[in-house]
Structure 1
Amino acid sequence: MAAAVLLPIATQAGQSILQEVSGNLMNLVSNGIKQLFNNKADQAFRSGWTQQQLGIQAAKYPGKNILVIFTKHQQNFTNSQVEQLVCECPSGDKYIYTGYAFEEGDLTNEGDGGYLNWAFTGHFDRNGNKVHFNKHVELG
């Protein structure tokens, strides 16, 4: 004859703990999903923001090469103006970019590419993560 197995009946305290753990788990999952969507939304926002900054900086410094960059980089620009640019995302996160307006020089982007991390305009030759900027030539 098989022995009977007695299963404990959940106590009110046990049920309360289970509900609390379950609630905490749901909050973690919910917050993780929100963070994932915020991250994607912030990335899209930052990609547009860097391009928008090119126009703003080009209007501010006509006739100059313009670079907006977030990632680690090496540069040797001549006659450059440098600004710290703050990108405030819809999630409330803030990212500090470096904005350059300059005559000529070389840049090596040591991080990821894409508009999320850098954008530039002017008279340049690019080979992967290396860019050589030439001086603008005045016509007329």
Structure 2
Amino acid sequence: MNTKSIRTTALAGLALAAAVTVGAVAPAQAAERPAHAVTTPASTTAGAGDLGATADEKTPVVSVSMDQLGVAGKVADAVRGVKTSDRGKFVEQAVEAAFNAAGGRHNVMLFNLSQNYDDRFQGTRVYANVKWGNVHYGLWIFESGTFNNGGDGGWINWGMMGWFDRNGGDVKFHRSW
């Protein structure tokens, strides 16, 4: 294969990846929710070059890979809008921002993926990877289920909002309706 066909193949692969990304964030409505516009894939994955952040603030990078509510752009924008240099405050504010952006009807969990955990969520509607500084978090928006945190339980590693009962690192989430 010559250099020109390698470049063409790589560009075709990038175009295919962009098309798949658009499909991944297209609205797939929950029956009780109205349709929402979804922003471009660049809007749902961007975040590193925000000129409004100070040198001490970290700008979150958000990549939504599942969206059954049609809120990928809103959730990504809300989480990217959290500006702080404090990791615990970031987690706390990002959870609240995602909860509100998703309509305030679903449970939300943000968890440091380098920690041990077991998630058994039912009705997962949105999933995103969130990078803040050098820490990678998983962000779930879901109906119900259980979660076990096998690592550190401080705000720097996890946060949740919704309807739940917590006993240490074990959390049981309930539907809001």
TM-score > 0.5, shorter chain as reference: yes
Aligned to 1:69, the other structure's residue is in SS state strand
Alpha-carbon distance between aligned partners in 1 of 2:141 and 2:116, rounded to the nearest angstrom? 18
Higher RCO by CA contacts (8 Å cutoff, separation 6 or greater): 1
Larger Rg: 1
For 2:28, the equivalent position in structure 1 comes to none
* Displacement after TM superposition at 1:59 (Å): 1.8
The CA RMSD over aligned residues, in Å, is: 1.5
Aligned to 1:50, the other structure's residue is in SS state helix
| Pairing 1:46–2:46 present | no
1:105-116 superposed matches below 5 A: 105-116=145-156
Structure 1's consecutive aligned runs of 4 or more residues displaced over 2 angstroms after TM superposition are none
| Structure 2 gaps, min length 5 | 1-55, 57-84
* Displacement after TM superposition at 1:60 (Å): 2.2
Alpha-carbon distance between aligned partners in 2 of 1:96 and 1:105, rounded to the nearest angstrom? 22
Q: TM-score, with normalisation over the residues of structure 2? A: 0.48
| Structure 1 gaps, min length 5 | 1-37, 39-43, 89-93
1:93-132 superposed matches below 5 A: 94-132=134-172
Alpha-carbon distance between aligned partners in 1 of 2:117 and 2:127, rounded to the nearest angstrom? 14
Of 45, 53, 61, the match for 2:102: 61
Higher helix share: 1
Alpha-carbon distance between aligned partners in 1 of 2:176 and 2:159, rounded to the nearest angstrom? 18
For 1:82, the equivalent position in structure 2 comes to 127
* Displacement after TM superposition at 1:72 (Å): 2.1
* Displacement after TM superposition at 1:130 (Å): 0.2
Whether the 8 Å contact between 2:108 and 2:161 is mirrored in structure 1 is yes
Alpha-carbon distance between aligned partners in 1 of 2:131 and 2:165, rounded to the nearest angstrom? 27
Residue correspondences, number? 90
| Pairing 1:73–2:117 present | yes
Percent identical residues: 26
